Amino acid sequence: MGRPSRPDSPQLELALFRDPAERPPADARGAAVLLGERLIPYELRRSRRRTIGLTIDHRGLRVGAPLRASVREVEKLIHQHQDWVLGKLEEWRQRQIQTAVSVSDGMSLPLLGEVISVRITAGPARISWIDGHLQLCLPEAKDPRPLLEMALKARARTLFAERLDHYAPLLGVAAPPLALSSARTRWGSCSRVSGIRLNWRLIHFPLAVVDYVVAHELAHLREMNHSPRFWSVVERLYPDYQQARAELKRLAQTLPRW
């Protein structure tokens, strides 16, 4: 998304592979503009670009502007695209609303596109997968959340390792080291030095989505960018990547939290 956007075509970035803890640039400053009855904060960053560009992601509205552009010019463009700005901000707000899940005996959770039940009993700490449900055994009065997360992470690590072993040879490389991530919106990352990190919460999604993220991160071993060459590598590894990518964006809005 590095190309300057035209004033009549504001730029939208979907940050599903971006770390929400990313800090704003040092030269950015905060401001706010009134759109209808809503005061909308935005981050303004000036650079040697030629046009004003609008970007909306999990951090809100951000504006890139030429060094000589006035605040009046910036806010005039924001007003021209008021419906777009308000609509996309609402999309991100809805995306960040997660349904609270109560961790209790008999609860249901999505797992690889299916729904499983979680049974919680008293006794020494133990995890068992029995007949399509997850059995958590732990001392009474203990919070079951850590044990549940441990069970899902273990299942995720095993699955991700299997999928890396499947796709790496198709790229002509050895399966890289694997680590799990707990980021809120970033599904994966790749380093030629440290290997691949995958968000353990992907275990909630269908295998097709998991495979897309695995292929996506492996492709970065060939292209450390998101150029057309990169996407051609992804397509070679996973031809239906566009459908899986769209499904990931949709399912991300329903990700269970507890």
> How much is the pLDDT for 99?
53
- Cα separation of 164 and 150, whole Å? 21
- Cα separation of 136 and 76, whole Å? 57
Are the C-beta atoms of residues 129 and 114 closer than 8 Å to each other? no
Q: What is the pTM of this model?
A: 0.64
Q: Within a 10 A sphere around the Cβ of 99, how many other Cβ atoms? A: 9
> How much is the pLDDT for 250?
83
> How much is the pLDDT for 205?
94
**Mean pLDDT across the stretch 247-251?**
87
Closest CA to 61 of 69, 47, 72, 38: 38
Compute the mean pLDDT over every residue in the chain, rounded to the nearest whole number. Answer: 85
For residue 199, give every residue at least 6 positions away whose Cβ sits within 8 Å of its Cβ, in sequence order, or none.
180, 181, 182, 183, 186, 187, 188, 213
Instruction: Please give the residue that has the higher pLDDT: either 24 or 144.
Output: 144
> How much is the pLDDT for 227?
92
> How much is the pLDDT for 28?
54
Domains recognised in the chain with CATH numbers: 29-96 (no CATH), 145-254 (3.30.2010.10)
Cα dihedral sign, 12-15-20-21: negative
Q: What is the pLDDT of residues 86-99, one digit of tens each?
A: 999 888 777 655 55
Q: Give the tokens for residue 58.
A: 């999990």
Are the C-beta atoms of residues 184 and 176 closer than 8 Å to each other? no
Q: What is the pLDDT of residues 66-81, one digit of tens each?
A: 999 999 999 999 999 9
> How much is the pLDDT for 183?
80
For residue 207, give every residue at least 6 positions away whose Cβ sits within 8 Å of its Cβ, in sequence order, or none.
112, 113
pLDDT at 49 over 80: yes
> How much is the pLDDT for 254?
78
> How much is the pLDDT for 10?
44
Question: Assign residue 113 a region: left if phi > 0, alpha if psi is -120 to 50, beta otherwise?
Answer: left
Q: What is the pLDDT of residues 123-144, one digit of tens each?
A: 999 999 988 799 999 998 889 9
Q: What is the pLDDT of residues 231-240, one digit of tens each?
A: 999 999 999 9
| Alpha-helix runs per DSSP H in 27-122 | 71-80, 82-96
Are the C-beta atoms of residues 195 and 201 closer than 8 Å to each other? no
pLDDT at 190 over 80: yes
**Mean pLDDT across the stretch 192-201?**
93
Amino acid (one-letter) located at 176: P
pLDDT at 11 over 70: no
- Cα separation of 190 and 26, whole Å? 26
Task: Describe the crossing of helices 228-237 and 207-219 by its angle, rounded to 10 degrees.
Answer: 130
Chain Cα centroid distance, residue 168 = 22
Are the C-beta atoms of residues 195 and 177 closer than 8 Å to each other? yes
pLDDT at 168 over 90: yes
**Mean pLDDT across the stretch 247-255?**
83
pLDDT at 223 over 60: yes
| Alpha-helix runs per DSSP H in the chain | 71-80, 82-96, 145-171, 207-219, 228-237, 241-251
**Mean pLDDT across the stretch 46-71?**
90
